[in-house]
Amino acid sequence: MEFSTNVDMISVCSADGSLQPLRFRFADADSSVHRVQVLEVLACREIKYVNVEAYEYTCRTRSEEREGLMRVRYAVRTHCWSLFRGERC
């Protein structure tokens, strides 16, 4: 099962219009705030469904001195970023 959490994202938009996530933060179920630095974008894929256009980024990240892989999505229509959890990257 997969679920998502909205995140506050800092990203860069290049001259060609592509986005690159840099760092983000989110609150967990206990209302603890986690800050995550994106070390490297490993993959980016475009997602197009009926009425949904998004970009999904698989990233190597660091949070609280731990490194791992995380997937974040940018929804074009709503301009919102989400962290996806459930399946391993």
**Over the stretch 39-70, which tens digit does the pLDDT of each residue have?**
999 999 999 988 889 999 999 999 988 999 99
DSSP, res 86: S
How far apart, in Å, are the Cα atoms of 8 and each of 16, 73, 74?
23, 12, 11
How far apart, in Å, are the Cα atoms of 67 and each of 21, 37, 39, 59, 62?
16, 9, 9, 10, 4
Question: Per-residue pLDDT for 19 more than 80?
Answer: yes
Average pLDDT over the chain reads 89
State residue 2's pLDDT score: 57
Q: List the one residue out of 58, 55, 50, 62 whose CA is nearest residue 24.
A: 62
The answer to whether the CB of 21 falls within 8 A of the CB of 9 is yes
Question: Per-residue pLDDT for 88 more than 50?
Answer: no
